[in-house]
Amino acid sequence: MRVVFISLCIAVTLLQVQCTEVPKEYLDKITLECADEQKFDKTRFSTILDDKYNIVSEDPDVFLLLECAHRKRKLIKDNDFVRDAYIEAIVQTLIPVLRPNEANPAKLAEESYDHCHTVHKQDHIGARIKDLHNCITNKLLA
pTM value is 0.80
pLDDT, one tens digit for every residue, the chain (142 residues): 444 444 444 432 223 344 555 555 456 789 899 999 999 988 887 676 788 888 888 888 888 999 999 999 999 999 899 999 999 999 998 899 899 999 999 999 999 999 999 887 778 899 999 999 999 999 999 9
Q: What's residue 52's pLDDT?
A: 85
Angle, helices 105-116/125-141, rounded to nearest 10 degrees:
130
Q: What's residue 22's pLDDT?
A: 58
Q: What's residue 26's pLDDT?
A: 57
CB 19 within 8 A of CB 13: yes
- The CATH code of the domain that includes 135 is 1.10.238.20
How many domains is the chain partitioned into structurally? 1
C-alpha–C-alpha distance, residues 39 and 5, integer Å: 20
C-alpha–C-alpha distance, residues 128 and 71, integer Å: 13
Q: What's residue 133's pLDDT?
A: 94
Could you tell me the CA-to-CA distances from 6 to 54, 57, 93 in Å, in that order?
Answer: 11, 14, 9
Q: What's residue 124's pLDDT?
A: 87
C-alpha–C-alpha distance, residues 90 and 139, integer Å: 12
Domain range for residue 16? Answer: 4-141
Handedness of CA 81, 82, 83, 85 (dihedral sign): negative
